[in-house]
Chain A
């Protein structure tokens, strides 16, 4: 009986996994394998010269070193800023808490290009900061220009990943029984000692997860660094792009991609280990841990954090909008009008309206693909037990860590030969975007699917429902909302996808992010203004998807 059940379960898992497995094999493993082969054997036979080049070439070493330390520094900075925020948003009850909780998620899903543009606007010489300075100090005012500095990169990375820390750590924090901390206080521990000896160790799994994910994201950071970095400020990702598009040195690009893959897989393994070492602790309903600020110190802590969040999260986006409306002599919609006028189309090869349309069409297609692939995979992971579930779980995490640039580059070199010659196919872009969005779909659906009490399914079975019927009558209604969230989330990711798309989008089929990148690459205030206008539009599109998600009140986005 039991053996039969196990066998049928295995059968179901296998059937469900066919599509995701095939998708991953063709569009992930095959390109990655091609990268490995191109990197290790560029001429068809193994040749370690390129590998030697990576190890010995000082410029490659410098890139690798920069990639590593900026990622470590970014992670530390994000944790430092995010932990107080996690406390405030998970433990203190104040008006607007829910709104803020949704608000901090927005940067996480904003396209990297939009973030890059926003910080260019905020940190550049014509920023409101400088305007304020010169208004205050007159001619003598120093002009702050933080573009192309590590500071800019760090701030942008904190902006981006703040939500990861707040949601991941805050998620656990809101479930830790406050009486455990009270107990420590009564036993004679000071506030700080209680935090160090009780709270921090209990939060450690969430902090480790968040740190690993932020490290992964910042290590493979591309768009932000491409826009905000400069000479000597390039990550491996940016170098892969440069080697491919400017140096046309595919073996070098492959080797760099290989180097990155190794690093990514290593940190994913660490993440996996950390995830498994979670201690069982008494968790309570989050409603019982939330309470109004009571002491004056707590109220100040809350206020300081709110100001910080406003400055960090709101300022760049507001400045972005301000710049997009600025004409140099007042505010008007000139940039938007120019963007969509026929005369200006030469910069983009096509009218900007087409870029918007392309983005939306690709986005919808990618969402459909990611949803089917991710949904099937998540269902398979829920159905399977033991080692199989473990394996599926881990396999699905891999694309999450793999950078967009690796995907784009892999597609570029792998899918141009028969039997799979997709060069120039319009399909390439949505498929790449889907591949990047799929892990997020899985991560959104899986916890909800897993949270369904097995006894509900058993009850349905005893009442006479077939397995398919159980899925339709029990799983689907419960997962329905999470499914919408997953769809909105993957749409936002697809629309804003830049790293892979920049390799794959044809010149005559630009998407909004690639159009922004092209505009920023041209000199002149007009191009910059149009880039800001396009970024603002893109921000609105993704924010709309996120607001739709928040309407559904599902708080899984950005939690790891």
Chain B
């Protein structure tokens, strides 16, 4: 089990990670999710011993890692863009780690064979890595990082440099590899789909801090802040007045039990909005959202409608029926009022890209609930 406590890392004046505490349970896959520059890679580098932390402790299976050199830590790290040794062949790359551990020739060879077999690259063992394709490099890099059998395997945006098709294929292979290894995995990515597909737990990072840690399903069911909602691509409504546990939204009352009176941001969970048609009319309890179609995109097994309601923000809806309204048509959407959650006010109501330039800093939510973002 990896336990990070109160970790801070800075590069000169730039603070990359601050006060981060995070556990990665044994044998599970922890995905660290966040936009670029949020400090995800820095966490991995600090755990690997490549960046000296300014404060905090890092423990692996009860042993303090901080203070140890990278080569003494027994962790595996698969780098962004792979960082393969360009002057060595595939098997020499994979053999490097076992060799450094002083294993015998036969053992090294066996480890290399096993690692390459696991990523299905046995046939290319003798090739120079410079001749490999992107996907092959990725597999070799993975084999190299698992060959020494580290206690902890960390992967830094391993699919970042690959094209979509390869990403999808490797995304299907990785869970199998992780299961086979049985080690604890920390997987850094900015892609929520990767996190969804792989993670037992997801840690969302923002500006060097931890924003939320949860199981993937829980994260989608209950994003804690507007930042997380935004990053997961969810729609939210800002500054709805709440009174007696009911928020008054642009389309009707939304029950938010237990929420104190005042103004709150409310997120629409996935599936909260659907398009209605004669076969699937609005059910009792659902709110009607009259809108017109702004855009329509074919997406394989469904069509995605971007609808502009008469009030409130734009909504994106997946439609699977045969008749799909065209841009400019009126349509009626149905909103399930139970599929909404109140978000904590985190000062980023304008979304992560706007940062502090436009939104005035606000004190934390519960004490001053009535302040209005500009």
Contact = CB atoms under 8 A, between A and B. Distances in A.
B231 interface: no
B86 A180 contact: yes
Given A184-B96, A282-B81, A294 B52 contact: yes
Contacts of A292: 12
A187 interface: yes
A185 B49 contact: yes
B120 to A, nearest CB: 21
Given A187-B97, A187-B144, A182 B70 contact: yes
Given A185-B70, A186-B50, A190-B69, A198 B85 contact: yes
A454 B320 CA distance: 49
Nearest to B71: A188
18 contacts: A179-B81, A180-B86, A183-B84, A185-B48, A185-B50, A186-B48, A186-B70, A186-B71, A186-B75, A187-B100, A188-B74, A197-B96, A201-B87, A202-B86, A202-B87, A279-B86, A281-B86, A281-B87
A279 B87 contact: yes
A294 B11 CA distance: 9
B80 interface: yes
B359 interface: no
A182 B79 CA distance: 9
Contacts, number: 84
A312 B48 CA distance: 39
Interface in B64-118: 69-71, 73-77, 79-81, 83-87, 96-97, 100-101
Nearest to B100: A188
Interface string B6-25: 00000110000000000000
A188 B86 contact: no
A216 to B, nearest CB: 26
Interface in A40-75: none
B130 interface: yes
A197 B71 CA distance: 14
A201 B96 CA distance: 14
A179 B83 contact: yes
A186 B76 contact: yes
Interface in A150-200: 177, 179-180, 182-191, 193, 197-198
A531 to B, nearest CB: 49
Given A201-B87, A202-B87, A188 B12 contact: no
A82 B148 CA distance: 36
A296 to B, nearest CB: 11
A202 B84 CA distance: 12
Nearest to B44: A186
A291 B50 CA distance: 13
A190 B77 CA distance: 16
A280 interface: yes
A295 to B, nearest CB: 8
Nearest to A282: B86
A177 B83 contact: yes
Contact of A188 (B11, B83, B87, B101): B101
Given A193-B100, A280-B130, A294-B52, A186 B77 contact: yes
Contacts of B80: 179
Given A187-B145, A188-B101, A189-B100, 9 more contacts: A180-B83, A180-B84, A180-B86, A182-B48, A187-B71, A189-B71, A193-B100, A197-B96, A202-B86
Contacts of B12: 292
Interface of A: 177, 179-180, 182-191, 193, 197-198, 201-202, 279-282, 291-292, 294-295
A279 B86 CA distance: 8
Interface residues of B, number: 31
B281 to A, nearest CB: 57
A290 to B, nearest CB: 12
B79 A183 contact: yes
B310 to A, nearest CB: 49
Interface in B261-308: none
B83 A280 contact: no
A180 B77 contact: no
A184 B76 CA distance: 10
B33 to A, nearest CB: 21
A186 B70 CA distance: 5
Given A187-B100, A279-B87, A179 B79 contact: yes
A189 B87 contact: no
A-B pairs with the 6 shortest C-beta distances? A188-B100, A187-B97, A281-B86, A185-B70, A179-B83, A183-B83
A182 B50 contact: yes
**Most A-side CB within 10 Å, residue of B49, B74, B83:** B83
Contacts of B145: 186-187
B130 A279 contact: yes
Contacts of B96: 184, 187, 189, 197
Contacts of A280: 86, 130
A185 B87 contact: no
A282 B161 CA distance: 14
Nearest to A93: B12
Contacts of A282: 81, 83, 86
A457 to B, nearest CB: 29
A187 B130 contact: no
A193 B85 CA distance: 14
B130 A184 contact: no
A201 B128 CA distance: 15
A183 B87 contact: no
**Max chain B C-beta neighbours (<10 A), residue from A184, A187, A189, A198:** A187
A189 B11 CA distance: 24
Interface in B124-145: 130, 144-145
B77 A183 contact: yes
Contacts of A202: 86-87
A182 B100 contact: no
B148 A187 contact: yes
A280 B87 CA distance: 9
Contacts of A188: 71, 74, 97, 100-101, 148
In the complex, which of the residues A183, A190, A282 has the most CB atoms of chain B within 10 Å of its own CB atom?
Answer: A183
B12 to A, nearest CB: 6
Nearest to A188: B100
Nearest to A198: B85
A189 B96 CA distance: 9
Contacts of A201: 87
